[in-house]
Structure 1
């Protein structure tokens, strides 16, 4: 079992923050997180293209190349693998592993479960050490309809487990009873997407969830903070909230700037927020 897989079976479940560039990943690493994921929405938005449109293969690989040698374990959100061809998805996974990624998140987009299972099998063959987190979108892309969603979710997750998935991911699922049902049914760790309106992290842990992802939440919060700061400045108010200094951000890329070191800011306060 790899070090990343071990984190799914440790005493404490894996809380996985998601970065969208080198600076955000480096900032998250200062919080002591042993593993960091990427967010496909952040990568796509930075490139000016829609998320989930298989348009960011190159950008995703470049980000993995930038982060794969950093001192944390990297899991990459690869949408649906950027192809319907299992062999092409497997080749992309092999490239991710070659640059240092230890995990890959693959979503089914409610497409063919058999095709998604074939992608999982192909990835495990091409990159056996890569932790495959198989995502189903039964709760993410459609309104819940009770037993129908539950039955389809179980069928899809069974297929993905049998195909070799190391873990499974059901974003959009927040009902504690449904989560408990899945935990009791599965042979692999269950990943749930944290929702501010759903169960707390502590509650998810009590339910048996082994991996809790933040998805695009941090990226969207960062955009919100930028807009709030602009509104404060425009209104003549001092911006509120913790702010890394220029030198802090330079340090994320291994740089130390004499100019940045002269800037002021409460570095300790924003890091203490962890």
Structure 2
């Protein structure tokens, strides 16, 4: 499958009422394990990438690490979308260069966020990315609910600007109220992405609301850290740790199922 056809195939997975459930991986093993469970598309998590190397999330500090992970995962048997914060640059052309690197690495999607900064800046980044890599699925995130007070008028204003700039999908993390989600869907021209919350609507409920994409964000990474801590607590107390524990051989097999690296010049 060519890069262009992979991009088209990835876009087709965004179906209102039959949403793409998109898990977020943080390394080879987590991506390979999720792919083995049948997930056709996998994203990365900016928090997981940052935490793994001891750098802050959302501070444009992990460009190199994000690109490296994309190169390692880009030839996997799944569509890859990369969480790229705000494009790791205040310069739209810098965001476009990043998108081109990710595309060459095998990614077919990129998530760009406004961090509640000026909507005009993210719109300019989206235009630059789409001009440089037309086939890249750009998921434009507004943080009006994640970092702000959930102002509906501002949310719509930002999402309209991002759609007009060429965004293929829009993302509103932190929005969990069913009535507000249902009210937002018909006012959009692009697929709506919602961040799954353990205390929010279920996958089935989000589907009924017309959501087209459900992201897990850093949830799986944080659950993995929690499981490690719980296991150590059990062991220290003389108990057998609960939960699923893949064997050594099973983990080795997962690592072999995703190539270690990918040529930066490859576009497939």
TM-score by length of 1: 0.90
Instruction: Kindly state the Cα deviation for residue 11 of structure 1 after the two structures are TM-superposed.
Output: 6.8
1:51 matched to which residue of 2?
Answer: 57
Matched, 1:71 2:73: no
Kindly report structure 1 stretches of 4+ aligned residues shifted beyond 4 Å. none
Q: Residue deviations 1:138-170, cap 9 Å, x none? A: 0000244xxxx1000000000000000000000
Rounded Cα–Cα distance in structure 1 between residues aligned with 2:37 and 2:254? 13
The answer on 1:133 being equivalent to 2:135 is no
Is contact 2:67-2:102 (8 Å) kept? Answer: yes
- How far 1:9 moved relative to its partner? 2.9
In the other structure, the counterpart of 1:173 is 175
| Cα separation, 2, equivalents of 1:142 and 1:89 | 24
Select the residue among 233, 242, 257 that pairs with 1:231: 233
Is 1:191–2:193 an aligned residue pair? yes
Unaligned runs of 5+ in 2: 1-6, 258-268
Partners of 2:16 and 2:191 within 8 A in 1: no
Per-residue deviation, 1:252 = 1.3
State the partner residue of 2:213: 211
Deviates more, 1:68-77 or 1:135-144: 135-144
SS state at 2:206 partner: helix
Q: CA shift at 1:180, angstroms? A: 1.0
Q: Equivalent of 2:245, from 238, 243, 246?
A: 243
The corresponding residue for 1:33 is: 39
Look up the SS of the partner of 2:256 in the other structure: coil
1:13 deviates by 1.1
RMSD: 1.1
Query: What are the superposed Cα offsets for residues 214-271 of structure 1, whole Å, 9 maximum, x if unpaired?
Result: 000000000000000000000000111110000111111218xxxxxxxxxxxxxxxx
Q: How many residues align?
A: 251
User: RCO higher in 1 or 2 (8 Å CA, sep ≥ 6)?
Assistant: 2
Once residues 155 and 56 of structure 2 are traced to their aligned partners in structure 1, the CA distance between those partners, rounded to angstroms, is 26
